[in-house]
Structure 1
Amino acid sequence: MLLIVWHVYRYVNMAEWVREVLLFCHGENLILPKRGFGSYLFGMSEHVANQSSDTSDFKDPKLGWIIAFLFVVSFLGLFSVVPLRKIMVIDFKLTYPSGTATALLINSLHTPQGAKLAKKQVKLLGKFFSLSFLWGFFQWFYTASDGCGFQAFPSLGLKAYDNRFYFDFSALYIGVGMICPYIVNISVLLGGILSWGIMWPLIKTREGHWYKAGLGDGSLEGIQGYRVFIAIAIILGDGLYNFVKVLTHTLFSLFNQIRNKQRANALPVAHQDSSSSPELSYDDQRRKQLFLKDQIATWFAVGGYVAIAAISTATLPHIFPQLKWYYVLVIYLIAPTLAFCNAYGSGLTDWSLASTYGKLAIFTIGAWAGASHGGVLASLAACGVMMNIVSTASDLMQDFKTGYLTLASPRSMFVSQIIGTAMGCVISPCVFWIFYKAFPDLGTHKSQYPAPNAIVFRNMAILGVQGFGSLPDNCLLICYIFFGAAIGINLFKDLVGKVGRFIPLPMAMAIPFYLGPYFAIDMCVGSFILFVWEKLNKAKADAFAPAVASGLICGDGIWTLPASILAIAGIKPPICMKFLSRGTNNRVDVFLGN
């Protein structure tokens, strides 16, 4: 019962939804990959299409078709791995680190010490939630037009501000920085320095040689093309390496599991160890008994998958005419295998490679459909289908592990996932719709919410359909270099052992290549606060830092909801706070006659 409440809370909690949509609009693709409002879904829109080299193929977001799309694709992953729950959790004893950590947290709340600590954490979370909310409300008064407010504060100088180096006083990103490991924040900052501090200023000096002059800062045929496609090259290189790494680890471990199981079932002969496997402890026996008590029939899981797949195959071509029914059928035939690979790899490493499988669908379906048959939209829709299946499969298996360790019924876990997913298919689009209607410039590179992953995913689709012909001069060569560098850095990290934890992460470095390093500065401030706190009192920092960070993130996220409502109602802030250089200020004074 506790876990049913936990899942319903997780999917209904408006703070969580607003926080996830906020982070997605800012480009944090690790928060909520399967709904895709900042990636494949919004990548279909005209806003994003106008920033790409292909403006002919787009589908603007509408609340109705988004909800229908999520309903027909979001449940398949749940049914695809249900028959494998015993194999994954009990037979293979996969750790599922996130599920295990959640279980340990829930179990700790049922002790006197855990309950006392939880009360303190909730109190601290509420305090910083209120501070963050009020700080967002205060900042709103100074944002009467574009380029106004604390988000435009040139804290490191005007020249640095022009290259997106500034501290924007964001409680959200400070909180994110307190949660993310130090190496992630440092990697993001290094990526910003490499791109906006070194590469883009140098490439700008080649204007008129490598690309046409006067194209503007947002044209993909100009410097924006380098920003977008080099970031894509790094993401693809990092994703390909980790895909091969996790898949190899998965297959090797699976081979060993099957071989050891066969050896254990063989009759004892000479020279063979006939000792039985160690007996389970009482706790493990009790967990196993309860986990196997409430069975979910295999016929139910298979039948559910087939039924939903049939409905989805018939429905999706009506939502996306470019996505033919046979494309969808092929995806559903191979998806259970990929869902198993992702769930197994997640159990070993805690890595979900859903976005990598989605990119695989982009290039495969895009090349199959071709540019003349709406390949861009077809590949983006196929990406969404694939990501939903493989990500929900690994999520469900993580939750089965949590249920196993907390003595929760597998049926209750499965039912809670279905309830939560159904709620998410309605609540999440509604929250996104508020953002979409409140901010007309949503998704543009100058917006407060640029949704950089949308342009990244769309341009991946264009590459899959049209090839590399539209790239600026030398852009492809630089992309090859950074693609190889991403693979090389990851390989080196794995070869050097413990020293590798000090080497930057290519995926994190790629994020600011398009967006800019301003949020990296905020995140590093969060890391610095956590570092000082740990030096002063590590025990308190370990216990309360996540609560403080969550309060900062949720408070800032919740404020955006009333800010959106005010924008829809046409209520604008009364003040515009801008910053000018001394020379510009003198010219303004002369113009105004002061």
Structure 2
Amino acid sequence: MHQASDRAALRGQLSVAGILIGCVGCVIITASSVYTALKMGSLPWPTIFTSITALVLLRAAGRTSLNEANITQVIMSAGSMVAGGVAFTIPGVWMLGLADSVSFGEMLAVALAGTLLGLVCTALIQRHFVEESDLEYPIGTAAAETLLASRAGGSMGKKLFGSMALAGLWCIARDVLALMPSLVAQVPVPGVAFGIQNSPMRWAVGFLAGRRSIIYWAIGAVSGWFGIVAGGNVLGVWDISTAQGVVSSLGMGLMMGSGAGVVVRDIVMPMVRRASASRDLAVSPSEGVREGRTARDGFLSRFISRYDAGVLALMAASAALIVCFVLGLGPVVAIAVTLLAFVTAIMSAQSVGQSGIDPMEIFGLIVLLFVAAFSEATQVQLFFVAGVIAVACGLAGDVMSDFKTGQIIGTSPRSMWFGQAIGALLGTFVAVAVMVALVSAYGPGAFGGQDAMFVAAQAQVVATMVSGIPSVPAFVVGLVAGAVLYCLGIPSMMLGLGVYLPFYMSISTVLGAVVRWAYDRVCASRGMDREAAEETGVVVASGVLGGESIVGVVIAFATVAAGLMG
């Protein structure tokens, strides 16, 4: 009876129309996510954007089911985090001058192994982290509220697609027609790339980011570039080159320390408290057996049958075989990566559930360092390890948020998981194809560095960890400070981004936050409904972000095609 009801829910919520719309959206969102991750050094969650888009398109097709819209949104957004996992790690290979050492097939193997492991892990932990825990999953909750409000049609749809079109035209005018520069208001400051990035997408990131996060981002940028670089140079403490090495090392340390803080505050400490509470409970032996069995069974999702368990085991084994033979890491490393993918997926689910932040590349670095310590993996293979884990963790965070959305509006978990599998597997091929197109169009030199077309900040961190840290003392200071600050409730990841990224990127992001502040003040002075005004701002900013990133990918593909024809 239970399986029959699951099949009925699957048929009712996972429709042909939803799959088709979702797959088309998945291609677009995944491609734009690769571009955004490389260009912006960050990857905003696409969930609200895809929720609104799914509602608009399904309504145009005469379908009004919120559960169907939820599944469609799941398919659309699944490839985004796969794209982030690949974009945050693999470009580091090109930064180290090893472009000839990685092939299309190997990149595809990295993405596919990570996707399979991510899907397996989330199928196993869904019940525990979504249904039984008290984690909030703010992104998933916001998506559920968007779907329940059902206000994405009509004017909201026009605002969404109108802002996308405007940002796309802006991108064409800047990058194709050369009617405007990419950097304005430049001021010569020794060692500091001061200016404002002429990018609506960058401003949209600042608009969408939380005010508190932006404040710490700005503090990090000013402290790092004007305090350490410019100030240290003026005072004669060090030259500009040394100061820049200190800043990059400190920024990397803060970001990695933030990941360590996630592990300590959000995972280890709750486990210690639960274990302590369990020891304090006086229960009889029989009650303890029953309680242990319930906890063990409760960790697994309800929708897993014996057949499902066999399929998941086959997926995990396939991922391990890919790591072992296709990526050439051997059986011991393959087993270690498979097991640690499960551990880091749990870390990711915990982090996203509490903060909405998924430091996927940090989890990849943790496993990379572990593998480097006990194996003879090459530099390129270490990037592969980081990529597999980052994809698995990125997908885990996305899946858990989507499961939370489904829990609130009553969508079948089985239907959602199948939707995620469709979108993630499709996104695997799209993400790798876009990466190949970008490196073919612009060359390996376009990735990394202060003046590069694609800053790829996270991949720079991975590359630096593989090749050697410029200033080990600064990195250690940042590592410790990042962990301590995160445990104290301070967003050290944002602080580290400000220290690490070029100053023009940070100040441009802050400009977007200033626009958000002015927008909120104007709406308040006019007596506009706060929730409606906020929703309109988020929709327009999401459209701006999506428009420029999508057109950027189209330009890259056009460049590749023109080169092939020429």
**TM norm structure 1:** 0.73
Matched residue of 2:196: which SS? coil
How far apart are residue 365 of structure 1 and its match? Answer: 0.4
CA separation of 1:89/1:186 partners in 2, compared to 1, >3 Å: closer, same or farther?
A: closer
Partner residue of 2:106?
A: 65
Cα root mean square deviation, aligned? 3.5
Deviations 1:461-519 (A, max 9, x none): 335xxxx6xx4xxx33333333333344334x43xxxxxxxx6x332232244431212
Partner residue of 1:584?
A: none
For 2:395 and 2:499, locate their aligned partners in 1 and report how far apart those are by CA, in whole Å. Answer: 29
How far apart are residue 423 of structure 1 and its match? Answer: 0.7
CA separation of 1:249/1:488 partners in 2, compared to 1, >3 Å: closer, same or farther?
A: closer
Matched, 1:16 2:29: yes
Matched, 1:138 2:173: yes
Aligned partner of 1:532: which letter? A
For 1:42 and 1:250, locate their aligned partners in 2 and report how far apart those are by CA, in whole Å. Answer: 35
For 2:285 and 2:522, locate their aligned partners in 1 and report how far apart those are by CA, in whole Å. Answer: 55
For 1:23 and 1:58, locate their aligned partners in 2 and report how far apart those are by CA, in whole Å. Answer: 21
How far apart are residue 344 of structure 1 and its match? Answer: 4.3
Partner residue of 2:118?
A: 77
Matched, 1:99 2:95: no
Matched, 1:236 2:236: no
For 2:137 and 2:278, locate their aligned partners in 1 and report how far apart those are by CA, in whole Å. Answer: 19
Structure with bigger helix share is 2
Contact 2:89 2:361 (8 Å CA) reproduced: no
Matched, 1:339 2:342: no
Matched, 1:37 2:57: no
Unaligned runs of 5+ in 2: 1-11, 45-79, 288-300, 525-529
Partner residue of 2:56?
A: none
The partner residue of 1:510 within 487, 496, 519 is 496
For 2:406 and 2:161, locate their aligned partners in 1 and report how far apart those are by CA, in whole Å. Answer: 28
For 1:507 and 1:136, locate their aligned partners in 2 and report how far apart those are by CA, in whole Å. Answer: 29
Partner residue of 1:536?
A: 522
Aligned partner of 1:65: which letter? E
CA separation of 1:333/1:149 partners in 2, compared to 1, >3 Å: closer, same or farther?
A: same
For 1:27 and 1:176, locate their aligned partners in 2 and report how far apart those are by CA, in whole Å. Answer: 8
Aligned partner of 2:141: which letter? T
Matched residue of 1:164: which SS? strand
Aligned partner of 2:316: which letter? A
For 1:106 and 1:296, locate their aligned partners in 2 and report how far apart those are by CA, in whole Å. Answer: 24
For 2:373 and 2:515, locate their aligned partners in 1 and report how far apart those are by CA, in whole Å. Answer: 48
Counterparts of 1:340-489 in structure 2, within 5 Å, are: 340-369=346-375, 373-440=376-443, 441-445=445-449, 446-463=451-468, 471=470, 475-489=471-485
Contact 1:185 1:524 (8 Å CA) reproduced: yes
Deviations 1:307-329 (A, max 9, x none): 223223333233333x2221111
Higher CA-based Rg: 1
Partner residue of 2:554?
A: 562
Partner residue of 1:550?
A: 542
Partner residue of 1:192?
A: 221
For 1:260 and 1:27, locate their aligned partners in 2 and report how far apart those are by CA, in whole Å. Answer: 49
How far apart are residue 79 of structure 1 and its match? Answer: 2.1
CA separation of 1:107/1:152 partners in 2, compared to 1, >3 Å: closer, same or farther?
A: closer
For 1:327 and 1:487, locate their aligned partners in 2 and report how far apart those are by CA, in whole Å. Answer: 28
How far apart are residue 2 of structure 1 and its match? Answer: 5.5
Matched residue of 1:167: which SS? strand
Aligned partner of 1:170: which letter? S
Matched residue of 1:450: which SS? coil
Contact 2:81 2:398 (8 Å CA) reproduced: no
Deviations 1:108-141 (A, max 9, x none): 21xxxx3xx5422211122222221111111135
Matched, 1:180 2:209: yes
For 1:355 and 1:444, locate their aligned partners in 2 and report how far apart those are by CA, in whole Å. Answer: 16
Aligned partner of 2:254: which letter? I
Contact 2:447 2:455 (8 Å CA) reproduced: yes
Contact 2:121 2:345 (8 Å CA) reproduced: yes
Partner residue of 1:151?
A: 182
Contact 2:261 2:483 (8 Å CA) reproduced: yes
For 1:8 and 1:179, locate their aligned partners in 2 and report how far apart those are by CA, in whole Å. Answer: 29
For 1:84 and 1:166, locate their aligned partners in 2 and report how far apart those are by CA, in whole Å. Answer: 46
Aligned partner of 2:550: which letter? I
Matched residue of 2:407: which SS? helix
Contact 1:320 1:378 (8 Å CA) reproduced: yes
The partner residue of 2:315 within 290, 300, 308 is 308
For 1:295 and 1:129, locate their aligned partners in 2 and report how far apart those are by CA, in whole Å. Answer: 40
How far apart are residue 447 of structure 1 and its match? Answer: 1.8
For 1:178 and 1:263, locate their aligned partners in 2 and report how far apart those are by CA, in whole Å. Answer: 52
Size of the aligned set, in residue pairs, is 493
For 1:64 and 1:525, locate their aligned partners in 2 and report how far apart those are by CA, in whole Å. Answer: 41
Partner residue of 2:55?
A: none
Aligned partner of 1:152: which letter? L
Contact 2:344 2:393 (8 Å CA) reproduced: yes
Identical amino acids, percent of aligned pairs: 18
How far apart are residue 457 of structure 1 and its match? Answer: 0.4
**TM norm structure 2:** 0.77
Aligned partner of 2:541: which letter? A
For 1:229 and 1:195, locate their aligned partners in 2 and report how far apart those are by CA, in whole Å. Answer: 11
Matched, 1:324 2:306: no
Contact 1:179 1:546 (8 Å CA) reproduced: yes
For 2:423 and 2:326, locate their aligned partners in 1 and report how far apart those are by CA, in whole Å. Answer: 24
Matched, 1:125 2:160: yes
For 2:215 and 2:282, locate their aligned partners in 1 and report how far apart those are by CA, in whole Å. Answer: 47
Contact 2:340 2:367 (8 Å CA) reproduced: no
For 2:422 and 2:140, locate their aligned partners in 1 and report how far apart those are by CA, in whole Å. Answer: 19
For 2:248 and 2:268, locate their aligned partners in 1 and report how far apart those are by CA, in whole Å. Answer: 30
Matched residue of 1:40: which SS? coil
Unaligned runs of 5+ in 1: 51-56, 268-293, 495-502, 572-594
Contact 1:92 1:257 (8 Å CA) reproduced: no
